[in-house]
A and B are shown apart, each in its own frame.
Chain A
Amino acid sequence: MTATTGSKGTAADAWKRRGDMTLRIVAAVPLGYAVASLWAMALARLLPGDRAEATVAATLVAFALCAGAAMWAFAARSGWRAFWTLVVAGAIAGGLTWLSIMGSGRL
């Protein structure tokens, strides 16, 4: 990861590193929580069986997703990559949830 390499570059490099780190932190914390929440919603809609049970199961899983998203935000090759992959992952879940609610409504 760029931020931990010891080499001192130019001022432009330093700003680049700061920008990269900011993107990763944004991807890890607010975005990570949003993606986990959207997938909790999608799973709650899509898991088979009783609605109440599916809701609980989706909530239980969401914390693991949240931690996984934070880890990915720092493991990805660049901050941008972390950012857009998480946006795409969230958008898929959001889309599925929206379609499902449009289709069959809420209780």
Chain B
Amino acid sequence: MSKSFRQSQSFLHTWSGLLLGWVLFVIFMAGTIAFWREGLNRWMRPELDRIEQPYTVLGGAQRFLQGKAADAKSWYIAMPSDKSAGAQVYWQPQPEPGKERGGRRGGRRSRENQALIGADGLPAVARETRGGDFFYRFHFDLHYMPVIWARWLVGVAAMAMLVAILSGIVTHKKIFKDFFTLRRGKGQRSWLDGHNATAVLALPFHLMITYTGLVTLMAMLMPWAVVANYADTEKLYDRLFPHVEEQARSGTRAPLIDLGRVVRNAEQRLGGPAGSINVSEPGDAAATITVTGAPSAMLSSRAPSLTYRGTDGAFVWETPAPGGASVTAGAMIGLHAGRFADYGMRWLYFLCGIGGTLMVASGLVLWIVKRREKLPDPARPHFGFRLVEWLNIAVIGGFPLGVAAMLWANRLLPMAMKDRAEWEIHALFIAWGVALGIASVLRSGRAWTVLLGATGALLATIPVYNVLAAPRGLPATLLQGDYLLAGIDLALMTFGASLLATARRVATYRPAAKRPRKRVPGGGAQAPVSSSGLHAMEPAE
């Protein structure tokens, strides 16, 4: 590769990475947490027992819906498993006569029309929380802003990430040699090594997750191929996402067959577990039951569906086999979400996600470290430098503090509080706001110490609180073999301890004695208390 090509891409790498780097950090971290979405859904509702008998819960869900919404337009049941926090059920009432019906998603899932069925098959009483689902949605919908803007912002950030990764590969002269290099305690070199190590170690993951992330938003980001071929886009969606033709309500009442029987048959035909059950016109003779495969059972996110007659459970329809490009798109989205991954694979995803989060963070810090040494007057850096440094502390130090605060809010907010689930999320942003303030008033080294230390302390102590005051503490979960919950507590302790150790290293860091050769008039090339101090972050995690 020519030198000028590499230089041009180095410039591109620096700026495409910096401009949206803070958004990327938050997206990457939220996405990484969301790999434990189901686990957090359970962890954040510690009142709920683990599900041992999914079919008992399913039967309970059917009884509940029959009592509550026998004549509904439709029911939706998320098939419970030992990973899920109960079976979430939704129902859509019959449209009122005279009122116009919306489109396919006409009846919105209002809060009144849903319930959670617990492990014993009865409606569960649990604290109101968004659980791990919050991190999943936040990963692409952000919060406090219209979803469509958020997704465009996330999409643009993902494209910047893709460009940063590709140009970063070009920039990298000795990709394999540097792979084995980690020089510690050497300021800028160490940051560069850390950035390279986190980037190169999981490079295939970073490329995969960024590209497939764009694919998950492709209908919005890149609708032009559709425009070129279709005047009526419904035709395309009917082809790509075929569904059984809706039966009109007959008006004759008829009881619904036992859903367990239908689901057992569907699981046999699918060759794997069911993921969700849709019942249309449950109380009517024209009722149909559609069972969709669980995303955990296959790579593609587009699990096939089977439809049965509601009165006698006769098999009527199944999703036709999709074409090559559709399968590719489905597999890419499946790869991104990682729902197919069992625990071992899920850990690999999680560790790669941490690598990516650290890659973004170390890249942002590297921008500062590199420029600090060239500042004409380190006591008075220019505006751009101060802005980037402030954003680094406020976002890289602040968002994790917010997450820790949210987890504590989940434990401490009163059970009967109004809008409790929403307040857990407010807690995240309030703590983040406090972090912003700390980043504004304290010197950078101190601000890093305070934020990392506070986050570490908050995370490390939650599992202790769980043992003392919550139903499902660490000894209990380990004894019951509930490794999903135990794993979350152990991970929180590990993160807490590493952040505390990092904060300590930042606090006690003294820059190495100045080398006389490098002395610069006016005090110095070697002022980077915070920058080199920060470097302590990298070996700790």
| Given A53-B324, A70-B12, A74-B11, A45-B228 contact (CB < 8 Å) | yes
Determine how close the nearest CB of chain B comes to the CB of A65; give it in whole angstroms: 10
Chain A interface, DSSP helix/strand/loop, else mixed: helix
Q: Is A107 touching B11 in the complex (CB atoms < 8 A)?
A: no
Chain A residues 45 to 81 lying within 8 A of chain B, measured CB to CB, are: 45, 49-60, 62-64, 66-67, 70-71, 74-75
In the complex, which of the residues A53, A63, A100 contacts B325, with contact meaning CB atoms closer than 8 Å?
A53
Residues of A contacting B387 in the complex (Cβ-Cβ under 8 angstroms) = none
Q: Whose C-beta in chain B lies nearest to the C-beta of A105? A: B231
Residues of B contacting A75 in the complex (Cβ-Cβ under 8 angstroms) = 5, 8-9
Determine how close the nearest CB of chain B comes to the CB of A6; give it in whole angstroms: 11
Residues of A contacting B122 in the complex (Cβ-Cβ under 8 angstroms) = none
Give complex CA distance A55, B222 in Å.
11
Q: Is A106 touching B230 in the complex (CB atoms < 8 A)?
A: yes
Q: Is A3 touching B11 in the complex (CB atoms < 8 A)?
A: yes
Q: Is B329 touching A71 in the complex (CB atoms < 8 A)?
A: no
Q: Is A52 touching B215 in the complex (CB atoms < 8 A)?
A: no
Q: Is A86 part of the contact surface with B, judged by Cβ < 8 Å?
A: no
Chain B residues 185 to 211 lying within 8 A of chain A, measured CB to CB, are: 211
Q: Whose C-beta in chain A lies nearest to the C-beta of B239? A: A52
Q: Is A74 touching B8 in the complex (CB atoms < 8 A)?
A: yes
Q: Is A1 touching B11 in the complex (CB atoms < 8 A)?
A: yes
Q: Is B229 touching A45 in the complex (CB atoms < 8 A)?
A: yes
Q: Is A41 part of the contact surface with B, judged by Cβ < 8 Å?
A: yes
Give complex CA distance A58, B230 in Å.
14
Q: Is A55 touching B218 in the complex (CB atoms < 8 A)?
A: no
Q: Whose C-beta in chain A lies nearest to the C-beta of B161? A: A67
Q: Is B4 part of the contact surface with A, judged by Cβ < 8 Å?
A: yes
| Given A1-B11, A4-B11, A55-B236, A107-B329 contact (CB < 8 Å) | no
Give the A interface residue count (CB, 8 A): 39
Q: Whose C-beta in chain A lies nearest to the C-beta of B240? A: A52
Determine how close the nearest CB of chain B comes to the CB of A47; give it in whole angstroms: 9
Q: Is B224 touching A62 in the complex (CB atoms < 8 A)?
A: yes
Give the B interface residue count (CB, 8 A): 41
Chain B residues 153 to 204 lying within 8 A of chain A, measured CB to CB, are: 159, 162-163, 166-167, 170
Determine how close the nearest CB of chain A comes to the CB of B81; give it in whole angstroms: 30
Give complex CA distance A106, B163 in Å.
33
Q: Whose C-beta in chain A lies nearest to the C-beta of B162? A: A67
Residues of A contacting B11 in the complex (Cβ-Cβ under 8 angstroms) = 1, 3-4, 74
Give complex CA distance A45, B325 in Å.
15
Q: Is B230 touching A55 in the complex (CB atoms < 8 A)?
A: yes
Give complex CA distance A106, B230 in Å.
5
Q: Is B326 touching A56 in the complex (CB atoms < 8 A)?
A: yes
Q: Is B225 part of the contact surface with A, judged by Cβ < 8 Å?
A: yes
Determine how close the nearest CB of chain A comes to the CB of B150; give it in whole angstroms: 19
Q: Whose C-beta in chain B lies nearest to the C-beta of A101? A: B228
Chain B interface, DSSP helix/strand/loop, else mixed: helix
Q: Whose C-beta in chain A lies nearest to the C-beta of B228? A: A41
Residues of A contacting B9 in the complex (Cβ-Cβ under 8 angstroms) = 71, 74-75
Q: Is A31 part of the contact surface with B, judged by Cβ < 8 Å?
A: no
Q: Is A71 touching B225 in the complex (CB atoms < 8 A)?
A: no
Q: Whose C-beta in chain A lies nearest to the C-beta of B322? A: A53
Residues of A contacting B231 in the complex (Cβ-Cβ under 8 angstroms) = 106-107
Q: Is B224 touching A63 in the complex (CB atoms < 8 A)?
A: no
Q: Is B326 touching A1 in the complex (CB atoms < 8 A)?
A: no
Q: Is B328 touching A60 in the complex (CB atoms < 8 A)?
A: yes
Q: Is A107 touching B7 in the complex (CB atoms < 8 A)?
A: no
Q: Whose C-beta in chain A lies nearest to the C-beta of B14? A: A4
Residues of B contacting A74 in the complex (Cβ-Cβ under 8 angstroms) = 8-9, 11-12, 167
Residues of B contacting A38 in the complex (Cβ-Cβ under 8 angstroms) = 224
Q: Is B235 part of the contact surface with A, judged by Cβ < 8 Å?
A: yes
Q: Is B228 touching A62 in the complex (CB atoms < 8 A)?
A: no
Interface centre among A64, A74, A106 (most CB of B within 10 A): A74
| Given A75-B8, A107-B230, A67-B159 contact (CB < 8 Å) | yes
Give complex CA distance A107, B229 in Å.
6
Q: Is B225 touching A43 in the complex (CB atoms < 8 A)?
A: yes
Q: Is B507 part of the contact surface with A, judged by Cβ < 8 Å?
A: no
Q: Is B16 part of the contact surface with A, judged by Cβ < 8 Å?
A: yes
Q: Is B323 touching A44 in the complex (CB atoms < 8 A)?
A: no
| Given A50-B323, A60-B329, A41-B227 contact (CB < 8 Å) | yes
Q: Is B229 touching A71 in the complex (CB atoms < 8 A)?
A: no
Q: Is A71 touching B236 in the complex (CB atoms < 8 A)?
A: no
Give complex CA distance A49, B324 in Å.
11
Residues of A contacting B170 in the complex (Cβ-Cβ under 8 angstroms) = 71
Q: Is A107 touching B163 in the complex (CB atoms < 8 A)?
A: no
Interface centre among B214, B224, B228 (most CB of A within 10 A): B228
Q: Is B7 touching A62 in the complex (CB atoms < 8 A)?
A: no
Q: Is B100 part of the contact surface with A, judged by Cβ < 8 Å?
A: no
| Given A3-B11, A56-B329, A71-B232 contact (CB < 8 Å) | no
| Given A38-B224, A63-B215, A71-B9, A1-B4 contact (CB < 8 Å) | yes
Q: Is B163 touching A52 in the complex (CB atoms < 8 A)?
A: no
Residues of B contacting A107 in the complex (Cβ-Cβ under 8 angstroms) = 229-232, 235-236
Give complex CA distance A53, B170 in Å.
33
Give complex CA distance A59, B211 in Å.
12
Q: Is B236 touching A60 in the complex (CB atoms < 8 A)?
A: no
Q: Is A40 touching B225 in the complex (CB atoms < 8 A)?
A: yes
Q: Is A41 touching B323 in the complex (CB atoms < 8 A)?
A: no
Given contacts A43-B225, A66-B159, 15 further A-B contacts (CB under 8 A): A1-B4, A4-B7, A40-B224, A41-B227, A45-B229, A52-B239, A55-B228, A55-B230, A63-B159, A63-B162, A63-B221, A71-B12, A97-B228, A107-B229, A107-B236
Task: Please give me the 8 A-B residue pairs with the lowest Cβ-Cβ distance, nearest first.
Answer: A41-B228, A44-B225, A58-B225, A56-B325, A57-B325, A37-B224, A53-B323, A52-B239
Q: List 20 A-B contacts (CB under 8 A).
A: A1-B11, A45-B228, A52-B239, A52-B323, A56-B326, A58-B225, A60-B215, A60-B218, A60-B329, A63-B214, A63-B215, A63-B218, A67-B163, A71-B167, A74-B9, A75-B5, A75-B9, A100-B228, A107-B229, A107-B230
